[in-house]
Amino acid sequence: MEQNNIFDVTIIGGGAAGLFAAFYSGLRDMKTKVIEYKSVLGGKMRVYPEKMVWDVGGIPPITGAQLIEQSIQQGLTFDPEVVLNERIDGLTKTDDGTFVLKAASGQKHYSKTVVIAVGSGILDPKKIQIQGKGDYEASNIHYAVETLKDFKDKTVIISGGGNTAIDWANELERICKKVYLIYRKEALDGHEAMIKHLLSSTVEFMPETIISNLKTNDGEQTIVEQVELTKQTTGEKTFLDVDEMIINHGYHRDTSLLKNSRPAINLLDDLYIKGNVNGETSVNGLYAAGDVLRFDGKLELIAGAYQDAANAVNKAKHDIKPDARTIAMVSTHNDKLKAWNRELMDEMLDDSNQSF
Ligand SMILES: Cc1cc2nc3c(=O)[nH]c(=O)nc-3n(C[C@H](O)[C@H](O)[C@H](O)COP(=O)(O)OP(=O)(O)OC[C@H]3O[C@@H](n4cnc5c(N)ncnc54)[C@H](O)[C@@H]3O)c2cc1C
């Protein structure tokens, strides 16, 4: 293993937590690598490019797509090495303390410290199941809303009762001809304010109801034209004509990386890392940030991911350089940012001079 192949910090996952960890690691002058399974950075935020995000401190309402763009820009500020299309399947810590990360491609990555920021792992949406037909595919069945305008003036059925289904019902109600929300349980399972908004809107909520059959066209491309719904408590059937269907039944999650790591990491339900507010795990030098990390008082939001990432990186810095400050100084103290600050200030002064 050549010394120059060993990174100070390797971040697994390029979502909100991974990108902020990359920024922060650069701020702390560490040689940084980000490894992402997908072909693009952004993580879960890519599920909701056109949803508004209201709860990131200091940022007015912003679409998921804008937040991805800004997060990537920030994450790449200090030019970390970025490896895309690379799935890490396991890692080991060698006797000299170096971590060896094993990728599905056969590639190995070496690092002095690691931040696991894999969110909910590798996600694959649960497909709609129709009895006797298994996973059902049709061109108007969607598992995420990529472009809102594709749904404009249409009749849309959303199946699901969690935050994602509720958020989409609220967003789409403004532009669709009609939105139905079908849920197998009696009560919705989301943020109170969003449920209240939904129940006072024109969205027709059908509780204790499942999609029991689909009628499709005879064309080359399968399109669902009518949906059969069954009320679970009475067996009563309803038939609705639809233009588009959105299925939010959750995800199959592959978190095998967490189980395939040696020494073993303390886990919760094999899906999350049991750690602490500093991003520390049960393995020295191995940190976690974002949705994958659990501790008392954890904020399971983007804002929480940022805090985890900064804390984890500060700890990693301390491992590598024990005399380094345990927390970063304010960002303007970084030499690279100091130089950019001067340029930005000059530009701002130029702009304000021109406006006089
Ligand atoms: C529909 C929806 C709406 C939301 N709305 C809001 C909101 O309004 N405000 C808010 O604060 N939060 C919101 N959230 C939650 C927020 O998106 C998450 O808390 C945040 O994105 C978590 O970031 P993360 O980096 O921890 O994980 P992720 O964004 O999930 O990123 C993890 C990354 O790791 C990669 N990865 C996984 N396993 C591997 C592996 N083995 N090897 C390599 N790469 C791997 C994944 O491909 C992924 O890119 C919402 C979530 C959803 C689903």
- For residue 234, what is the domain's CATH number? 3.50.50.60
- Which residue type does 103 have? A
CA distance 49 to 65: 4
Residue 356: pLDDT over 60: no
Tell whether 265 and 239 lie within a shared domain.
no
- CA 48 to centroid of ligand 1, rounded, Å: 11
The burial of 181, by beta-carbon neighbours within 10 Å (0-12 exposed, 13-18 middle, 19 or more buried), is given as buried
Say if residue 131 is in the same domain as residue 244.
yes
Q: Distance, CA 45 to ligand 1 centroid (Å)? A: 6
Domain shared by 179 and 81, yes or no:
no
Distances, alpha carbon 240 to alpha carbons 41, 160, 213, 222, 237, in Å? 39, 17, 11, 17, 10
Q: Please give the pLDDT value at position 187.
A: 96
Ligand 1 within 6 A of CB of 257: yes
User: Is residue 355 domain-resident?
Assistant: no
Pocket test for ligand 1, best of 19, 33, 44, 295 (most atoms within 8 A of CB): 44
What does R_g of the chain's alpha carbons equal in angstroms?
Answer: 23
Q: Distance from the CA of 41 to the center of ligand 1, in angstroms?
A: 11
Of all protein residues, the one whose alpha carbon is nearest to atom 35 of ligand 1 is 13
Total domain count for the chain?
Answer: 2
Query: Residue 50: its pLDDT value, please?
Result: 84
Residue 26 shares a structural domain with residue 115: yes
Ligand 1 centre and the CA of 294: distance in Å? 14
Q: Are residues 228 and 298 in the same domain?
A: no
186-223: pLDDT as tens digits: 999 998 999 999 999 999 999 999 999 999 887 778 89
Task: Give percent above pLDDT 90 in the chain.
Answer: 79
Q: Residue 340's pLDDT band (boundaries 50, 70, 90)?
A: confident
What whole-number distance in Å separates Cα of residue 22 and Cα of residue 71? 10
Residue 107: CB atoms within 10 Å: 12
Ligand 1 site, residue 273, Cβ cutoff 6 A: no
- Ligand 1, residue 54: give the atom nearest the CA: 8
Among 220, 249, 278, which residue terminates a domain? 249
CA distances from 331 to 106, 160, 320, 327, 337 (A): 38, 42, 20, 11, 7
Whole-number Å distance, alpha carbon 235 to ligand 1 midpoint, is 38
Ligand 1 nearest-atom number relative to CA 300: 19
- Print the domain residue range for 205: 127-249
> Both 104 and 149 in a single domain?
no
In short, whether 64's Cβ falls inside 6 Å of ligand 1 is no
Do 218 and 298 reside in the same domain of the chain?
no
Q: Are residues 118 and 258 in the same domain?
A: yes
